[in-house]
Amino acid sequence: MGSGGEIRLQGAGATFPNPLYQKWLSEYGKLNANIKIDYQSIGSGGGIKQIQARTVDFGASDAPMTDAELKASPGELIHIPTVLGAVVITYNLSGVAKPLRFSPDVIADIFLGKITKWNDARIKADNPDANLPSTDLTVVHRAESSGTSFVFTDYLAKVSAEWKEKVGADKSPKWPVGQGGKGNEGVTGQLKQQPNTIGYVELAYAVQNKLPVALVKNASGNFVEPSIDAVTAAAAASAPNTPDDLRVSITNANGPNVYPISSYTYILVY
């Protein structure tokens, strides 16, 4: 409680929903001047640690907390899904007019370091009409514990046996290749500044920074661009598998119109 009856709430965590959260908080503040809510975009791992330490009133994470994390918390934490979103493949590549297309195995092998050139035959097979240069490609990934990384690696672990064995799904994976950026903001910044890079960010960051967004082949074999409808389709396809505590993965869901790297993001409260 602040001075004069003012209420102050502190939250911290995922960068994935931060653009939307900041908009919500701005609009809410206009309607409720006596309630101040501050949200720090520090990454899902940081959000989980801070809510466990009770240094914030609410945490935020794209990755559902594990059973071990819940057990280590000083009280019963609940997951409140707030936003559906998409983790997108984005890149900085001149001379390519149309959005690129990527098959799941191609994405996995790029991030495993097995595909190192933009004109690799397998990228060309997905994009036969694209003018792909012979330059090296540089992978950009998150540097810190990240729910966006969890969503992305959760997807890769489902579509690539090699990824599942060597890296797995994790908020802080041991990346086989690439350079790190802090937050979706940091990855976006590196992609904008460095030609011939490729990385993954939440859709809003790519759109706000005018970065191209790739189409990804889904489990039905269709190349799908991330959109509200395609993410909603992923959630709908996964609804029958949603447990009572709402901790659910919706990556690589079945359905012809599904965008396969979709996710919920959560507010965490006691």
| Gap between the Cα atoms of 13 and 42, Å rounded | 5
| Two structure tokens written together for 251 | 């990556």
19 and 126 inside one domain: no
- For residue 202, list its beta bridge partners: 87
Q: SS3 of 229, please?
A: helix
| Gap between the Cα atoms of 76 and 184, Å rounded | 29
68 and 157 inside one domain: no
| Gap between the Cα atoms of 10 and 20, Å rounded | 16
Q: Is residue 189 part of a domain?
A: yes
Q: Is residue 269 part of a domain?
A: no
58 and 104 inside one domain: no
Task: pLDDT band for 48, please (50, 70, 90 cuts).
Answer: very high
How many residues are recorded in the chain?
270
Task: pLDDT band for 197, please (50, 70, 90 cuts).
Answer: very high
Write out the residue range of the structural domain in which residue 151 sits: 86-263
Q: SS3 of 89, please?
A: strand
**What is the amino acid identity at position 130?**
A
Q: Which helix (H) or strand (E) holds 79?
A: strand 78-92
Q: Is residue 268 part of a domain?
A: no
What is the overall mean pLDDT for the chain? 97
Task: pLDDT band for 168, please (50, 70, 90 cuts).
Answer: very high
Q: Is residue 61 part of a domain?
A: yes
Among residues 85, 118, 134, the one where a domain terminates is 85
- What are the tens digits of pLDDT across the range 225-259? 999 999 999 999 999 999 999 999 999 999 999 99
- What are the tens digits of pLDDT across the range 87-134? 999 999 999 999 999 999 999 999 999 999 999 999 999 999 999 999
What pLDDT was estimated at residue 1?
A: 53
